Amino acid sequence: MTMIKDVTVELGPREVVLYGKVIATVDNITVEVEEATEEELAALKAAPVILLVKPLPEKIYKEAKHEN
């Protein structure tokens, strides 16, 4: 399994859906991938739906406690 680092991936046109309703369109989404396998990059390009998440402030991550 080969890891690919620091690559730019163009996902092409997408629709922005909020609460099940298309509210916008995007001509092209470009993402900077820090590290992924070839399989992960192929899956990203082929995925009909991707999830975008607004990052939380770093302070929240440090305070978060996870159950193992």
Q: What is the pLDDT of residues 29-58, one digit of tens each?
A: 999 999 999 999 999 999 999 998 888 887
pLDDT tier at 1 (50, 70, 90 boundaries)?
Answer: confident
Q: What is the pLDDT of residues 23-34, one digit of tens each?
A: 999 999 999 999
CA distance 27 to 13: 4
Give the number of other Cβ atoms within 10 Å of residue 37's Cβ.
12
State the pTM of this model. Answer: 0.71
Nearest C-alpha neighbor of 51 from the set 6, 16, 22, 12: 16
